[in-house]
Copies of this chain bind each other. A is one copy, B any other.
Amino acid sequence: MPTSEQVNTALDTVLVPGIKRSLVKMNLVKDVAVTDGKIDITLANSALNAETQEWLKNRVNKVVLGIDGAKAVNLNFADAKPKELNKVKNVIAIMSGKGGVGKSLVSSLTAIALCRQGYEVGILDADITGPSIPKMFGVSGPPGMSESGMLPVPSHSGIEVMSINLLLQTEDDAIIWRGPLIGQTITQFWEETLWGNLDYLIVDLPPGTSDAPLTLMQQLPVSGIVIVFTPQDLTAMVVRKAVKMARQMKKPILGIVENMSYLYIPETNKKMEIFGKSHAGEMSEFAGAPLLGQFPIDPGLATLCDEGNIERYDSEAYTAFTQNLNSALAKK
């Protein structure tokens, strides 16, 4: 006779159409009961449209009836909202008062570093008016959805992505909204996206200290903030505002990352500090948090981002960043 455990193992092989994760990983299995080889299964219907439900029904039937001794399968769908199903262990927000310093880059590299170590990772792109994440990962919409919610879109390596740009007809359409709507959208991305079980959700914030960071810090269980800056004095001043905001909102700063630290010139074999001397030491002290990494300006990385292939990136700087990130997370 089949056991519930066997059924669950079977269900863990059924991937939800459109995303690369199983019914179990998405927390969609609500109930499994086995009586004399007859198997009753209840799945949540969150974010699953009728077609997807039908597909899953057939697939589950096939897989479960393949278990030795399974006689019949009775599959039902029950109403559930994504926020009842989501189990996100850590929310890490990537922030910087200043625009264009590389928040999206650091968000992506953080997610990729964790994904490469086997963690289940998602990225919530909270930069509603200037979203960059889908393009960097080469993913596009529309995502699967039903009345009850949306499914994220997986990257090549299985990082779950949600971004306003996945919902737009044309990627360069403008979102001309006032702040409250921006805040609402971030809340929706958090509550109405079926993230399922995640070890880490990385949130890519827009520049500034206004609606998006405020909503995030007030409404999401942020467990750590990573602050991004560049060597320019001007940037340092604006970034200190972000540090002060994090402090005022009583959210722990996990670490800081300096981007565009230097440019390597192959012809001369020299590093050129084109945005000035590093402020990493002072910034680390000001933030009371460790320096997680220093990334150079890297034309090769810029190309990978433009091509949607950021997941192929590797460098010494990245290896060092990954190690420091792990240490910082371990200390939390």
Residues of A within 8 A of B (CB): 97-101, 128-132, 135-136, 171-180, 182-183, 206-211, 213-214, 232-234, 237-238, 240-242, 244-245, 248-249, 263, 265, 267-268, 270, 272-276, 297, 299, 302-303, 305-306
Identical subunits present: 2
Q: Give the residues in chain B near A232, CB-CB below 8 Å.
A: 302, 305-306
20 additional contacts (CB under 8 A) given A178-B180, A267-B270? A97-B174, A98-B100, A99-B130, A99-B207, A128-B210, A129-B209, A129-B241, A130-B207, A130-B241, A132-B237, A171-B237, A172-B238, A174-B241, A174-B244, A178-B179, A178-B210, A233-B305, A273-B299, A274-B302, A276-B302
For A249, the chain B residues whose CB sits under 8 A away are: 176
- A24 CB, nearest partner CB in chain B, Å: 35
Task: Given A98-B100, A248-B176, verify A276-B263 contact (CB < 8 Å).
Answer: no
Whether the pair B234, A136 counts as a contact (CB closer than 8 A) is yes
The chain B residue sitting closest to A241, CB to CB, is B174
Across-interface contacts of A306 in B (CB, < 8 A): 232-234, 276
B276 near A174 (CB under 8 angstroms)?
A: no
Task: Determine how close the nearest CB of chain B comes to the CB of A283; give it in whole angstroms.
Answer: 11
**Chain B residues, Cβ within 8 Å of A275:** 299, 302
Q: Say whether, besides A129-B207, A178-B180, A238-B132, A274 and B299 are in contact (CB < 8 Å).
A: yes
User: How distant is A236 from chain B, measured CB to nearest CB, in Å?
Assistant: 8
